[in-house]
Amino acid sequence: MTDGHHIVVLGAGYTGMFTAIRLAHRTRRTAGVRITLVSPSGRFVERLRMHQIAAGQELAVHKIADLLDGTGVTFVQGAATALDPEARRITVDGSTTLGYDTLVYALGSATGTSRVPGAEAHAFTLDSPEVAGRFAARVAEVAAAGGTVTVCGAGLTGIEAAAELAEAHPGLRVTLIGTEEPGAMMGDKARGYLHRALNRLGVTRETGVRVAEVLPEAVELADGRLLRSDACLWTAGVTVSALAAEAGIATDPHGLILTDATLRSVSHPEIHAVGDAAAIRMDFGQLHGSCQSGLPTAQYTADTIARLVRGKTVQPFRFGYFHQPISLGRKDAVIQFTRADFTPVRMRLTGRSAVWYKEIVSGSPLMTYRYSKRMNLTTLVSKGGRATTNSSA
């Protein structure tokens, strides 16, 4: 390696933050390595807890600069507005320019509101604490008037949000809308527990239906029905930044960077993609965006870059899923354990033990960052040894 190797990490979400901190520890004795982390916000967002803010709870504020303290990582607050992979240069906020030798692309994803008319204009998302906070304020007004809130999207995020809202506001009518049954990916017993919890909380479900349009005071379904909606929370679908595709980096049709077995761009190998921003395939299929798979990609990429700058060889990325954790308010939860391909096994947790487990999961990223400043901490959710197990295992 030549002196002055500059590594830039774009994005300070779960994966970008972990990559930067672990990489700083792994290269602390490697001469000439500099690491810069770029993010438009100075606050680290715990996206696993956004549904709690939406229900009116106040969460601790974690500043990125504080999380990086003692690592030697330089923090640049600003949005990446242009990327020139040939010149290896990033433009921040339209003016500041950063050159790089190695780039970690960790810009993550956002809720996809553009595909359904009215969703962008009339629905809230959980993409930021600010938007979730505005939704919480609106929900408080709706609850006081005995109104109805709709949650569009019956995946893990939608389920958690609907349960949290119903528990926090007992008089509120909450309707969960999805193309699939809530908990469809779970085993029968865990799914049954989930539905009993939603019944207890009074959450109405509209399943097997698609939203055709979000209106100011209603949600129109594809079958023509209108559901009253005094406030709408949109959790269905994702979108990613167009930065990579616009820069000419090879991406899939959704804008995710196409990666090789070492999570490097197939068109620009000096670019490593992690988390939601990367199209990563295992033998059982493409990874879906989640903290469970994202943290292992960050851990692997930090270790890979550290080895590459020292001229060492690297092994392919390996990963398998471990669980499907769902909180059902503050007092209940269900954890479905899985095979590597995300299909359910018999083991599950419910009730208080599941609440404890889910809280450990939600708090684990911050704990991981803290300890990773001093040691090579392995993420607990990684099952690399099972990564090549196919869906029949």
- Domains of the chain (ranges, CATH numbers): 5-108+241-321+365-386 (3.50.50.60), 119-234 (3.50.50.60)
Q: What is the pLDDT of residue 379?
A: 64
**Percent of all residues in the chain with a pLDDT value above 70, rounded to a whole number:** 95
- Token representation of residue 165: 């809202």
- Token representation of residue 211: 């939203």
117 pLDDT more than 70: yes
Q: At 91, is the pLDDT very low, low, confident or very high (cuts 50, 70, 90)? A: very high
Which residues lie across from 151 on neighbouring strands? 176, 233
Q: What is the pLDDT of residues 270-296, one digit of tens each?
A: 999 999 999 999 999 999 988 999 999
Q: What is the pLDDT of residue 139?
A: 98
87 pLDDT more than 90: yes
Q: What is the pLDDT of residue 377?
A: 77
Token pair 């008037």 in the structure block, residue = 145
Q: What is the pLDDT of residues 330-389, one digit of tens each?
A: 999 999 999 999 999 999 999 999 999 999 999 999 999 999 999 987 764 444 434 332
Cβ neighbours for 290, distance < 8 A, ≥ 6 positions apart: none
Q: What is the pLDDT of residues 156-174, one digit of tens each?
A: 999 999 999 999 999 999 9
Q: What is the pLDDT of residue 289?
A: 82
What is the three-class DSSP state of 97?
A: strand
**Closest alpha carbon to 319 in 257, 265, 266, 259:** 259
Contact 286, 263 (CB under 8 A): no
392 pLDDT more than 80: no
Contact 43, 12 (CB under 8 A): no
Rounded Cα distance between 393 and 391, Å, is 6
Q: At 297, is the pLDDT very low, low, confident or very high (cuts 50, 70, 90)? A: very high
Q: What is the pLDDT of residue 101?
A: 98
CA distances to 183, 327, 359, 390 from 197, in Å: 12, 10, 18, 33
Where would I find the H helices in 55-187?
64-68, 119-122, 129-144, 156-168
Section 119-138 average pLDDT: 98
Instruction: With residue 154 as reference, give the H or E element that holds it.
Output: none
**Residues composing the chain:** 393
3 pLDDT more than 80: no
